[in-house]
Structures are given as C-alpha cells and as structure tokens.
Chain A
C-alpha cells in the first residue's frame, strides 16, 4: 500500500505513545535502575508527638538511602491523613493496625489481637485503593484508660472492675471519644460501662492528665505508650476483655512509592521498634521537650540506620 504522509506521521505518534507509556513516571514494584534519581516521598503524621517522631524515623531512614523526603507533620486526625494518602497528597504515614482497619471497614469489628491477621485484613481494603500496609512492628500504642493512683479509684486494676461503679465516674478524652469504637462507645459495648459524664479534653495530652490530677475526671484516655505511666502516677487499667486490638505501628504507604528498597528499609526499622522504645522516645518529647526530628535522628544513629 502506498504510505502517505498522514499515515507515517500518525504511525510515528502512535509509536511514540506506546514507547512513553512503557516508561511510566513511577517504577512501580520494580526497583529503580541504579543511577537514576530516587523517588521523592512525602511523609505525614497525626497531630501528636509520637506520630511525628515515627514519621521522622521513617523519613530520615529513607533519606539516608537517598530519597527526597518532604515532611507534613501534625496534619491532623485520621479523617484528614488517610484521605490525603488516597488522594496522593502524601505517600506514607505511620499507622496503627487495628484502628486503621476499623477506620477502613467503618467499625465493622474485624480487628483482632493478632497483628499479622489484622494487617492482612487491612490490606484487603487498602490494596484496591492503591495503598498498602507493610509488616507491622511489635511496638503497640493503643487507647488505654487510666486512673490516678493516689485517687479514689487508684486500687482498681482492670477495666472490667469498673462495671458496678462506672455510673459514678466521669470519663475524659478527645472530643470524638463518645462515638469511637475503641473509646467510650466500645467501653459501653464490651464492658457495659455507662459513665456519669464525659469531658472533652485532648487526646491523652496535658489537659487530660491535669484533669486526672485535679480530680475533675475520674478516668481518662492516656495512650498505652505514654511516658507518664513510667512515673507510676497513673494506673493503666488492664483491657481484660480485649476491646483494643492489635494497634501495632505499621507503615501505610502508596503502592506506587513502595519499591523493594523502600519496603525493606521500613521493615527493618519496624523490626527494631518495640513498645519500650516508644515509651522512651515519648519521654524525650514529653518530659525533655526535645524535637521529633532530633529524637528520631538520635535513635536512628544509635541503631545503626544512619551514621
């Protein structure tokens, strides 16, 4: 057939289109060829200091391997952070496995104390969205409820002990606590605790602790990895009926940024994170008022991730 100019040019364009489609902007699951510039990754955190520290740890570990890291710390609650990840405004954040799962499944109650199973279930929701939860660490930070040791309820040790007396107690926590499945709503459902009143304070922060100290609340939400527990001032009531599930720290990442190297770096960092490590990192932030980036870099250095 006679190839006229139009066909040739058209063919060239089609050919170009095929060629460029092959070289996508993201390397996907394959490792980037050596010598090409590494990914830029945006790491975000929730708006409390432990989350900022974890985000800094992930980010700085990746930075040490040559990735360009942008931090968007203290972005807000999960209601803000997760949609941002879905949209691609951020690429990675340190999540807590069970709470992430219950957020994805609209509180269906599928999380269990088994971290691996919880993460597997979580991925069935995340993968279709182009997201992924990597290997969970053994470090756990879950909702925990505490009473003042020197106060009226200081002799109690378990949440189930409170069933007969809950109606005399005022619960303090973050404003969303009454409706959250791992907070007041869950306490009511699993333990049958109907508190006298609820006071909106902060998420396990200084206002909640001050309220416990002053006696304006009887029981407050203080996260299980909070350094305040190491002082012995507060009694963490045991979650004997397992309301809280496996809230292990786990990186939640966009699949298009999760190449082999990134995954291996994050997993090796997670392997070294334990709950005790979290408590000690939190102490540096809460008591010594150190900055998250300094706390992170110190920890990474002493654990051999950076030099």
Chain B
C-alpha cells in the first residue's frame, strides 16, 4: 500500500527474501545490463573527450565554445534528452547511449583540460630542453601528468552515468531501473529496494576501484599522504 510509511504493511515488507532468491537471474541480468550500458557510455565518452579536451586545452578560442556546448548538453534533464531523441532514433539502446555519452562529455573534457593545464610549465620547458619534440612531449609528459585529473573525471562520469542509466528504463531499456520501475508499477517494495540499493552499491564499487586505479597510475604521488 502506498503511504504505508516507513513501517511497511504486512503484505509488502521492504524486502522479501523469497522474492529476491527466486529472481536472482532477473536481478543479475539487470545488473549486467546496467554495467554494459555504463561501460559503453563512459568508454565512448572518453574516446570523444580525449581529443576534444586536448583541442580545448591547446586552442584557447575553442575552449569556451566546447565547454559551453557540452555544458548546455549537461544541463538538459536526461528524460528530456532521451525523449527528444526517441522520435528519431527510437526506443533503443542507441537513444540511451547518445544521451548517456553526452552527459560524460562535460566532466571528462573539463578534467582533461584541467589535467593538462596542471602540468607545470617548468616541467614542459625541461622536456623541450631535453630534446622532446611536441608530439613526444605530449604523449610522454603532458598526458601522463594529466592522468590523475583524467581518472578523477572518469570516476565522476562513471558514478553519474550509473545513476542516469536507471532513467533509461523509462524508454524501455533494462538495467537496475527496470527493477525500480517494477516497484513503481506494481506497488512492490522488494524490486524497488533491490534496484536502488544495487545501483548505489555499483556506484560505490566503481568509485573505489577507479580511485585505486588513480593511485596505481600515479606512482610519484604514492609517497605523499594525499592521493
């Protein structure tokens, strides 16, 4: 019953373990699909953001427009963005991914820029002094030093995307949002709670893993206290 309050009524406790055990395949499938949708979005987002971020960093005139455009995209509510795409790309994974990728762009591009900005000028000069040509310097000095910021961006983008994937259930896709939607349509607390809790858990696991990756990728900072 809706509005039963935090104390659930007898027929619909907050979690029914018999339901959970019976539906482990469904829950597992939703989790897998959720991970897939997230990975594709962040992966493609990164592929687009690395070159775009580089250009935004390198070409001062481009930085404003690139950040503004991705910023405006970021502002659009996800259900609205999916809805705008649906008449053209249908109720499909493509629609969802176009939307999800768009939301990673601002975060990733911004972090690529900040990362590259953060490379101390003296280091860059020293590298040039040592004979590094621009491309080599970019690949072996600039980007590696920008990695911590880039991974920080990947962390935020991943956690954000995990939350947004739940909304794709409203355009017919699955993921953990499908369980939440089932909880809504059937007034059923168990799938709702499982969907929401797993979504949070997935975000936490992803964040911790990427934070570990960040530390691995920056061996020079491991000696100091803060990551």
Contacts and interface: CB of A to CB of B under 8 A. Distances in A.
Nearest to B185: A205
Interface string A276-298: 00000000011111010000000
A289 B188 contact: yes
A287 B1 CA distance: 9
B16 interface: yes
Interface string A171-209: 000000000000000000000000000000010011101
Contacts of B7: none
Interface residues of A, number: 16
Given A288-B11, A289-B11, A291-B22, A210 B2 contact: yes
B187 A206 contact: yes
Given A206-B2, A289-B16, A289-B19, A49 B11 contact: no
Contacts of B190: 289
B125 interface: no
By secondary structure, the B interface counts as loop
A207 B2 CA distance: 8
Most B CB contacts (10 A, CB to CB) among A202, A285, A288, A289 go to A289
Contact of A289 (B2, B3, B185, B186): B186
B11 A202 contact: no
Interface in A206-225: 206-207, 209-210, 213-214
Contact of B185 (A202, A209, A287, A288): A202
Contacts of A287: 11
B117 interface: no
Interface in A248-299: 285-289, 291
Contacts of B187: 205-206, 286
Interface in B172-217: 185-188, 190
Contacts of A47: 185
A206 B186 contact: yes
A95 B3 CA distance: 33
Interface of A: 47, 49, 202, 205-207, 209-210, 213-214, 285-289, 291
Given A205-B185, A214-B3, A289-B188, 14 more contacts: A47-B185, A49-B186, A205-B186, A205-B187, A206-B2, A206-B185, A206-B186, A206-B187, A209-B2, A210-B2, A213-B3, A285-B186, A289-B186, A291-B22
- Lowest 6 CB-CB distances: which A-B pairs, in order? A206-B187, A210-B2, A289-B188, A287-B11, A206-B2, A205-B185
